[in-house]
Amino acid sequence: MGNDLNILILSCGTRNKIVQYFKKELGNNGLVIATDCSNLAPALYEADKHFIVPRMGDEGYLDVILSICKENNIKAVLSLIDPELSLLAEHKQAFLDIGTMPIISDSNVVDMCFDKYKMFEFLVQNGFQTVKSYVDKEQFYMDVEAGIINYPVFVKPVKGSASINISKVTSKEEIELLFGRFDNLMIQEFMDGTEYGADVYIDMISGDPVAIFTKEKLKMRAGETDKSVSIKDNQLFELIKKFVKVIGFKGIIDIDIFKVKGEYYISEVNPRFGGGYPHAFESGVNIPEMIINNINGNMNVDVIGEYEEGINMMKFNEIIVMRNKVIAFT
């Protein structure tokens, strides 16, 4: 294997661990290159090489990324932020044409992940248990009257990420107020149960799920898992296998699941490395290695459930300090 297996991580932000893991797995076989629009993104400085790029919404952003891929012989590209996943999926062919493999599901699948109501409809139509959701508040009020759903409920944007603008509400007045102020909102059932997360890798070549790591979330902070413990349940593994096959995911995804009265409910999916992925890696579920196998044209073997139960993850803060240096665009 030549030492030119270069991987590009876009919008790396504070996800230092992901950069470290790819460096560890690549060893001397290639470089990990990172980008961000801010020179204060700490993960940049863990990479072998980094670029400060325009904001994702800026004119010409895609061309900048494509030229970085071309000039640095990038074999695979992935992003760590939601808005960019749609961009990668939509322009998958442009990357493939220059020999770069985007580690991402197809465009229609990615778009469904970011439209919580579309995902809800898909789950219901395909017989999966999920969190009751409404975009029509009148229908919701009727269901409250009929005793199908009760307060409290969550009101959230249909297309939102990182737990932004989510309100827990207990009355019709609050719902009227929120729906009056904002567009594209949905009402979601409050799940009074245990929350789980699953890190899943679907082989880019075979299309089969080859790794599933599940954990119970013990403590959350701003939509991110702060503390978690690994668990194993074949019923849950089978549910996830069936779900990812029906929807047609590819690459790395992160699934939120609730368990209420012994039943599992699929809540939502981020089609990227989840914030809690380090728990899976440190427990032996090595997704960077699987990605590298796929880039080399090799299919991965199924290692679903091959990790220990009862491994706890605890996040804590770390810092990087550096002198202010002016970084000019070239």
Q: How confident is the model at residue 162, as a pLDDT?
A: 56
Report which secondary-structure segment, H or E, holds 307.
none
Whether residue 283 contacts residue 307, with contact meaning beta carbons closer than 8 Å, is answered with yes
54-63 contact pairs (CB < 8 A, 24+): 56/11, 56/81, 56/83, 56/84, 56/87, 57/83, 61/87, 62/87, 62/91, 62/94
Annotate 44-93 with DSSP letters as a single string: GGGSSEEEE---TTSTTHHHHHHHHHHHTTEEEEEESSHHHHHHHHHTHH
Q: How far is it, in rounded angstroms, from Cα 61 to Cα 37?
A: 10
- For residues 288-326, one letter each, b for 16 or more C-beta atoms within 10 angstroms of the residue's C-beta and e for the rest, the string is bbbbbbbbeeeebeebbbebeeebebebeeeeeeeeeee
pLDDT tens track, the chain, 330 positions: 446 899 999 999 999 999 999 999 999 999 999 999 999 999 999 999 999 999 999 999 999 999 999 999 999 999 999 999 999 999 999 999 999 999 999 999 999 999 999 999 999 999 999 999 999 999 999 999 999 999 999 999 999 765 667 899 999 999 999 999 999 999 999 999 999 999 999 999 999 999 999 999 998 877 778 899 999 999 999 999 999 999 999 999 999 999 999 999 999 999 999 999 999 999 999 999 999 999 999 999 999 999 999 999 999 999 999 887 655 554
Q: How confident is the model at residue 330, as a pLDDT?
A: 46
Q: How far is it, in rounded angstroms, from Cα 128 to Cα 120?
A: 9
For residue 269, list its beta bridge partners: 255
Count of all residues that appear for the chain in the document: 330
Q: What are phi and psi of 105, to 5 degrees?
A: -75, 170
Q: Distance from CA of residue 153 to its chain's centroid?
A: 24
- List domains and CATH numbers for the chain: 6-104 (3.40.50.20), 132-189 (3.30.1490.20), 193-314 (3.30.470.20)
pTM for the whole structure: 0.94
The CA distances from residue 214 to 305, 307, 310, in Å, are 8, 10, 11
Q: Distance from CA of residue 58 to its chain's centroid?
A: 23
For residue 32, list its beta bridge partners: 7
Q: How confident is the model at residue 228, as a pLDDT?
A: 97
Q: How far is it, in rounded angstroms, from Cα 196 to Cα 216?
A: 4
**Would the CA dihedral through 148, 151, 157, 160 be positive or negative?**
negative
Opening angle at CA 26, ends 22 and 31, nearest 5: 85
